[in-house]
């Protein structure tokens, strides 16, 4: 029994990194990457991503069911858009929220309901990210943060494939808005930490 348990644990450790690589490749091919955008170079030696958001992993939250979660999109953004080019200092990208919540919508009742196709669920996405820069050698510390929200609804006759496409579009919309807002926030609030 012990050997079986050990084999299962080791098997999971071997499979997990492969899953991360597969998700990253899928993200890049699915249009979730930011490699086409100009990198933002910071005068720090290190960039760290800290995920403070813990998904409840149960309804009404559904982000854990996605092929690419909002938190993973933030990590991709950091990988593609932020570059460290300094000799000291640190930037921390803190993921404070990366949720998608399913909300059941009211439906038409009675005879009219038989002939009406209602929107049955709405998906509300929220991403909160803060970038903190600390450069003690230069006497500089600063931060910028963004909150991005987006919603999509589906009809009661939606297929599983259509529902998953809706989720992907919701994540894509939030990713695009997050990219624009963070780039502006860095220019406006962390300009002293940028290398142009």
H/E element holding 62?
Answer: none
**2-27 in b/e burial notation, b at 16+ Cβ within 10 A?**
eeeeeeeeeeeeeeeeeeeeebbeeb
* pLDDT score of 9: 40
* pLDDT score of 31: 59
* Residue 82, beta-bridge partner list: 40
Q: For 108-121, how does the pLDDT look when each residue is reduced to its tens digit (9 = 90+)?
A: 777 776 777 667 99
**Do residues 90 and 46 make contact, with C-beta atoms less than 8 angstroms apart?**
yes
The number of beta carbons lying within 10 Å of the beta carbon of residue 1 is: 5
Distances, alpha carbon 47 to alpha carbons 68, 70, 130, in Å: 22, 19, 13
The alpha helices in 59-109, defined as continuous H runs, are 70-81
Distances, alpha carbon 41 to alpha carbons 17, 51, 129, 148, in Å: 28, 22, 18, 23
Average pLDDT, integer, range 94-120: 84
* pLDDT score of 110: 78
Q: For 136-183, how does the pLDDT look when each residue is reduced to its tens digit (9 = 90+)?
A: 999 999 999 999 999 999 998 999 999 999 999 999 999 999 999 999
Q: Is the pLDDT of residue 93 over 80?
A: yes
Q: Which CATH architecture has domain 31-193?
A: 2-Layer Sandwich (3.30)
């Amino acid at each position: 029994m012990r050997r079986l348990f050990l084999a299962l644990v080791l098997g999971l450790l071997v499979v997990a990194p492969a899953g991360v690589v597969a998700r990253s490749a899928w993200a890049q091919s699915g249009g979730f990457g930011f490699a086409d955008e100009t990198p933002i170079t910071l005068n720090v030696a290190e960039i760290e991503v800290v995920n403070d958001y813990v998904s409840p992993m149960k309804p009404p939250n559904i982000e854990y069911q996605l092929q690419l979660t909002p938190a993973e999109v933030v990590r991709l953004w950091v990988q593609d858009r932020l570059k460290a080019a300094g000799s000291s200092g640190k930037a921390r990208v803190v993921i404070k929220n990366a949720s998608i919540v399913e909300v059941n919508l009211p439906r038409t009742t009675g005879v009219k309901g038989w002939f009406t196709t209602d929107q049955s669920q709405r998906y509300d996405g929220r991403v909160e990210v803060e970038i903190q820069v600390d450069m003690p050698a230069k006497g500089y510390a600063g931060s910028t943060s963004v909150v991005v929200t987006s919603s999509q609804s589906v009809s009661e006759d939606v297929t599983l494939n259509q529902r998953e496409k809706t989720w992907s579009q919701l994540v894509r919309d939030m990713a695009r808005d997050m990219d624009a807002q963070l780039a502006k926030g860095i220019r406006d609030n962390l300009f002293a930490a940028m290398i142009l």
